[in-house]
Amino acid sequence: MKDTGKERGTVPADEAAVANNNVADAAEAPGAAEAVEPSAEERVVALETELAAQKDQLLRALAETENVRRRAQREHEDASKYAVAGFAKALLSVADNLRRALDSLPESEARDERTRGLLAGVAATERELLSVFEQQGIRRIDPDGERFDHNLHQAIFEAERAGKPGGTIIEVLQPGYVLHDRLLRPAMVGVAKETPKPAEPVEPSGTAA
């Protein structure tokens, strides 16, 4: 029994070694866990990098805000500038009818004063309407004798015309209209066809002796 007590009171050598190692590890742990602090130069570089990134993001946000502002301003200006487009298109037929009335009976062919007065009134009405058009930025296109431009004109027919180079407008069937720089209606025109050049005579190659 006494021997058993002694055995219980003693600690094996292996267990003592493990305990000593644990104590040593515990003593060394705080030093190992401590992170290496960056130097002052490294902190400055990190702060400068972060500042540059924030500055870049700020500049991008400001540029995007400015683009949105300009786009909104441009859309607002366009809406104000071309607000009368639909109304103007509806009035083009009125201008066409006034011109047809004047073309149907030239003033020189009027036989009485009453008819000439009526034609003068129609002509004055047409001038007033075109004046109002110009005040609103609407310009009439009457391109007789000009070069054909597909941006402003619509060719209805082509025909050969002596003395007129190909692509020249020889007849305006219906005038066109432009609102500022936007086409409301193309001018309906006839265009001179390119005249083929006469074939050059072939010279004889020479006679045999």
Using one digit for the tens of pLDDT, what is the confidence trace for 175-197? 999 999 899 999 999 999 887 66
pLDDT the model gives residue 186: 96
The answer to whether residue 59 sits within a structural domain is: yes
The answer to whether residue 69 sits within a structural domain is: yes
Q: Are residues 71 and 114 in the same domain?
A: no
Note whether 88 and 177 are within 8 A (CB): yes
The answer to whether residue 96 sits within a structural domain is: yes
Q: Are residues 167 and 147 in the same domain?
A: yes
Residues forming beta bridges with residue 190, ordered by sequence position: 157, 171
Q: What region does 115 belong to: left with phi over 0, alpha with psi -120 to 50, or beta?
A: alpha
CATH of the domain at 122: 2.30.22.10
Residue 6 has pLDDT above 70, yes or no: no
Q: Are residues 64 and 101 in the same domain?
A: no
Residue 5 has pLDDT above 70, yes or no: no
The answer to whether residue 23 sits within a structural domain is: no
Q: Looking at residues 68-85, what average pLDDT do you find?
A: 82
Beta strands in the chain (DSSP E): 138-141, 153-159, 169-174, 176-179, 182-185, 187-192
Of 35 and 120, the structure prediction assigns the larger pLDDT to 120
Q: Are residues 72 and 152 in the same domain?
A: no
pLDDT the model gives residue 1: 46
Instruction: Find how far residue 159's CA is from the centre of its chain.
Output: 38
The lowest-confidence range among 91-95, 162-166, 186-190 is 162-166
Q: Are residues 118 and 181 in the same domain?
A: yes
pLDDT the model gives residue 202: 62
pLDDT the model gives residue 84: 83
pLDDT the model gives residue 75: 80
List Cα–Cα distances, 91 to 119, 127, 177, in angstroms: 20, 14, 11
Of 16 and 87, the structure prediction assigns the larger pLDDT to 87
The answer to whether residue 16 sits within a structural domain is: no
The answer to whether residue 208 sits within a structural domain is: no
Of 146 and 10, the structure prediction assigns the larger pLDDT to 146
Residue 124: which of 146, 101, 145 has the closest Cα? Answer: 101
Residue with tokens 């644990």: 22
| Average pLDDT of the residues of the chain | 81
Host domain of residue 154: 85-192
Query: Which H helix or E strand runs over 33?
Result: helix 13-33
Residue 182 main-chain phi, psi, to 5 deg = -115, 130
Q: Are residues 76 and 121 in the same domain?
A: no
Residue 121 has pLDDT above 70, yes or no: yes
Beta strands in 67-163 (DSSP E): 138-141, 153-159
